[in-house]
Chains A and B, each alone.
Chain A
Amino acid sequence: MSFPFFPASGSAMATQVDRLFLFLVALTIVVHLIVFGPMIFFLFKYRESKKVDRSPLKFSTLKVELVWIIIPLILVMAVFAWGSHLYVNLQEPPKEAIEVNVVGKQWMWKIQHPEGNREINELHVPVGSVVKLVMTSQDVIHSFFLPVFRIKQDVLPGRYTTEWFQATKVGSYHLFCAEYCGTMHSHMIGRVHVMEPKDYEDWLREGEPTEPLVQSGQKLFQELGCSGCHSMQSQFHAPLLEGIFGRPVPLEEGRMVMADEKYIRDSILLPQLQIAAGYPNIMPSFEGRLSEEEIFQLVAYIKNLSPKKAKSGKGKP
């Protein structure tokens, strides 16, 4: 039985979280000394058998109370600011990121890379690159937990959530599901493999030939008949999707909505929910006809129609 004391640290974020954690540990020790030092001293000095001065106090308790209200208040506000700073960083991935799609289901992680490579319960990433995970669940709530990077994010059905990391150390580390998701919850585990960029490229080329997400998305787009309406030549009046990603879209009801992954997903599954201004309400719902993976492919294709905003990662288009 080994006696590990601290988890491996595999990203700049992990180092920062550890620093704040250790600060809090130090603070805890100091507070304990401040509370229990005097307490133990009093317990000995003022035992009922001891002859000591027990005359009433002569100082104002109000001042004392204010001291131990204001000092802790300042301290915790500082900790709040520090912690929030890290949290905001965790929520905002740098622009250039490899986008990996993750689908959680009872009880496995299905992962697809932009180049099309699929894996289950394994995640291969290159060291040094920013990797952004776009995640959704097929059934219940799961949580994608990578202790080595000190990150965790719930994976929800019907929504996209994201988390990101930039690995600094080659190696193979734990991947856990951290939100209780049913009978085999504790077996919904895997590994994240951080590789040298060259090894990663080799890994991408190995195995079965794959098709990049954008290409699969394009095929689907045609097979499902989307191109019948969403094109210049179409006789039906449907919004053009070129350049739409990342831009605000005016809705019939007067509101504006940002065309992000969630908007595109919702437009495919729940088209009646948000009608683009100036277009008839004719889009059929694809709910139940598409798997989460297929929706990811369509989203990847539509994103790619906006060349400026396209973030298909490295290598192949």
Chain B
Amino acid sequence: MNAAQEFNFSIEATKNYLNVNYSVKSWLFTRDHKRIGLLYLFSIIFFFFIAAMAAALMRLELLTPEGDLVLADTYNKLFTIHGVLMVWFFLIPSIPATLGNFVIPLMLGARDVAFPRINLLSWYLFIFGGGVTLYSIIIGGVDTGWTFYTPYSSAYSNSYVVMMVVGVFVAGFSSILTGLNFIVTIHKMRAPGLTWMRLPLFIWSMYATSLILVLATPVLAITLFLIALERLWQVGIFNPALGGDPILFQHLFWFYSHPAVYIMILPGMGVVSELIACFSRKQIFGYTFVAFSSLAIAVLGFLVWGHHMFVSGQSVYAGMIFSLLSFLVAIPSAVKVFNWTATLYRGSISLKTPMIYALGFIGLFTLGGMTGIFLATLGVDVHVTDTYFVIAHFHYIMVGGMVLAFMGGLHYWWPKITGRLYPEKMGQLSALITFIGFNLTFFPQFIAGYLGMPRRYHAYAAEFQIYNVLSTAGASILGVGYVLPIFYFLWSLWFGKKASMNPWDARGLEWQTASPPSQYNFEQTPIVTEQTHAYPLLTSEKTLRKVMHVR
């Protein structure tokens, strides 16, 4: 580094993507993937809390068997709000659009995503879709549930179905554009030397996720369009009274919505791979298998939609084929879990906050995955489908899995995003509270479900009460686990210690630039000469420090 460069660097060091300019306009018209990531972060947290309030009201209602807190109609609208906002406006965009947007170009050594303007457009579509959806809630709400099953949604519900469907439809385009952007970015913008087999596992999982986003979301758009067509102009598509087929909707809907589960969980798996590698200072055991298992999950995920319909009246043979294929998805998922555990072997493990979230993820995902086996098993599914067993199962996958991974990733990259460190002890505490609260909320629902408590019940038989009381108690603990990080993250912005370039001694290109990064990420395009997570194999923490400093 010569003197001129050094001088440049000292000026540049104070200018980063956050303080390069301050105006509102500079944020609303930004094409910087990092700022867009933050715009998404604020938006999804906003939607998360509205959806969480709906959940809190539902859990309060379910404290007693009688439907005494809210009216049946209100309750039905609450679970629709909860489902629609959580699925389309929190879970699906959460990791891809926030952390993905922020770190993918950094991890690839790129200046930005391939299409920065399209990236901004997809945020606007997301906000517009979210706005329309919120408007449909404000003017009266929708009582169909997030699945919009026909002919109820297309002919019988007297709520604002079309408006909400338009909101989700528009948000879907945001998903498609984000997916396209990531696919092209990952293909075309990798730094020299960053071959496919050297990519971070997070990139692999985001690549698989993007494929699903691009291929599945159009089917959702078509399906929602058909509902609107039937509702507005009585075109007979789903309603048998008009000559339609009520099961057709379920096929179309789940053709999107089952792969959508993997849109939610694959990015989480990618984050967890990063965290496990970093905090055990080892390359992930069986890197190739873990990388390709993401693709296997994405491909198989398209072939199993019919397992949501074992009691819908589809043929026995269809049921058996969908069951068989569903069991196959279990294999790449199991491969990941086994490899994460094996990575710890001979590692150098530190239980920092992100690592606790990652381990919590593995715990909850494993139970969620195993209960998925129950649901793929035909004879058992007949009894447990549409009961609280299913509710518990998918919350273990989607909340226990996705949300824990999101929280883990947010803690992990927080110093990179903000340039500040959060208080470590508080982080560990909130991770533990979340884990305990989560299990107390959702484990009792497995038992209530096998006892036969159907889902979407505003009032229920008295014998199920004890499990609902436990669940509501758990939800209040879980709530603390969600709110706590907001306080210490905000605290850290003003009072947190300044983060160094690489506070975790992690590998990966995103750690080789300033925290927070400058507007264009890297001073010079980095050149990659080895695998991303090739953490040096070490015999003690001392050598570790030495190696990291030498490097």
Contact = CB atoms under 8 A, between A and B. Distances in A.
A68 B335 contact: yes
Interface of A: 1-7, 16-17, 20-21, 24, 27-28, 31-32, 35-36, 38-39, 42-43, 46-49, 51-57, 61, 64-65, 68-69, 72-73, 76-77, 79-80, 82-91, 106, 139-141, 143, 145, 147, 150-154, 156-159, 161, 174, 176-187, 189
Contacts of A182: 76, 143, 152, 156-157
Contacts of A80: 323-324, 327, 376-377
Contact of B379 (A16, A43, A184): A16
A265 B97 CA distance: 51
Interface stretch (B183-191, B221-229, B359-367): B359-367
Given A46-B346, A65-B335, A145-B452, A56 B537 contact: yes
A173 to B, nearest CB: 9
B240 A158 contact: yes
11 contacts: A2-B466, A31-B370, A82-B377, A86-B378, A87-B319, A91-B316, A140-B151, A140-B152, A156-B247, A182-B157, A185-B72
Contact of B386 (A20, A43, A52, A143): A143
A143 B387 CA distance: 11
Contact of A150 (B239, B328, B383, B544): B383
B351 A181 contact: no
Contact of A65 (B280, B286, B310, B385): B286
Nearest to A67: B338
B225 to A, nearest CB: 21
- Chain A CB count within 10 A is highest, among B247, B454, B461, for B454
A104 B98 CA distance: 46
Instruction: Give 6 nearest A-B pairs by CB, closest first.
Output: A86-B379, A158-B240, A147-B452, A87-B378, A83-B377, A42-B344
Nearest to A43: B349
A134 to B, nearest CB: 12
A55 B543 CA distance: 13
Contacts of B460: 186
Interface string B344-373: 111111110000000100110011001101
A186 B458 contact: yes
Interface string B89-128: 0000000000000000000000000000000000000000
B450 A39 contact: no
Contact of A6 (B144, B152, B335, B450): B450
B377 A20 contact: yes
A43 B454 contact: no
A57 B346 contact: yes
B534 to A, nearest CB: 12
Given A3-B466, A64-B286, A83 B378 contact: yes
A72 B369 CA distance: 13
A54 B535 CA distance: 12
Nearest to A161: B313
Interface residue SS majority, chain B: helix
B285 A157 contact: no
B473 interface: no
B367 A28 contact: yes
B348 A48 contact: yes
B316 A87 contact: yes
Interface in B301-328: 310-313, 316, 319-320, 323-324, 327-328
Nearest to A52: B346
A129 to B, nearest CB: 21
Nearest to B446: A25
Interface range on chain B (Cβ under 8 Å from partner): 35 or more
A301 B139 CA distance: 51
Given A46-B349, A76-B330, 14 more contacts: A21-B450, A47-B351, A48-B541, A53-B539, A56-B537, A68-B334, A76-B373, A83-B377, A87-B379, A157-B239, A159-B246, A179-B149, A185-B457, A186-B454
Given A39-B362, A147-B383, A153-B311, A46 B378 contact: no
A142 B85 CA distance: 25
A178 B312 CA distance: 11
A4 B452 CA distance: 11
B285 A61 contact: yes
A16 B379 CA distance: 9
A272 to B, nearest CB: 12
B386 A152 contact: yes
B76 A183 contact: yes
Nearest to A53: B346
Given A180-B152, A186-B459, A83 B370 contact: no
A274 to B, nearest CB: 15
A141 B246 contact: yes
B537 A54 contact: yes
B331 A69 contact: yes
Contacts of A3: 466
B451 interface: yes
Interface string B376-411: 111111110111000000000000000000000000
Contact of A20 (B380, B456, B457): B380
A139 to B, nearest CB: 6
A8 to B, nearest CB: 9
Given A39-B344, A179-B386, A21 B151 contact: no
B374 interface: yes
Contact of B345 (A21, A46, A178): A46
Contacts of B538: 54
B458 A54 contact: no
A227 B365 CA distance: 63
B323 A178 contact: no
Contacts of A86: 378-380
B68 interface: no
Nearest to B287: A61
A54 B350 contact: no
A147 B464 CA distance: 13
A87 B359 CA distance: 36
Contacts of B387: 178
A54 B149 contact: no
A35 B338 contact: yes
Contacts of B241: 157-158
B469 interface: yes
B73 interface: yes
Contacts of B345: 38, 42, 46, 57
A196 B281 CA distance: 69
B465 interface: yes
Contacts of B72: 183-187
A82 to B, nearest CB: 7
Contact of A90 (B337, B347, B379, B457): B379
Contacts of A52: 346
A54 B382 contact: no
A35 B337 contact: yes
Contact of A46 (B289, B348, B359): B348
Nearest to B374: A24
Given A46-B349, A145-B452, A186-B67, A157 B370 contact: no
Contact of A87 (B155, B351, B382): B382
- Chain A CB count within 10 A is highest, among B331, B334, B452, B539, for B452
Contacts of A1: 465-466, 469
B28 interface: no
A84 B143 contact: no
Contacts of A87: 310, 316, 319-320, 323, 378-379, 382
A20 to B, nearest CB: 6
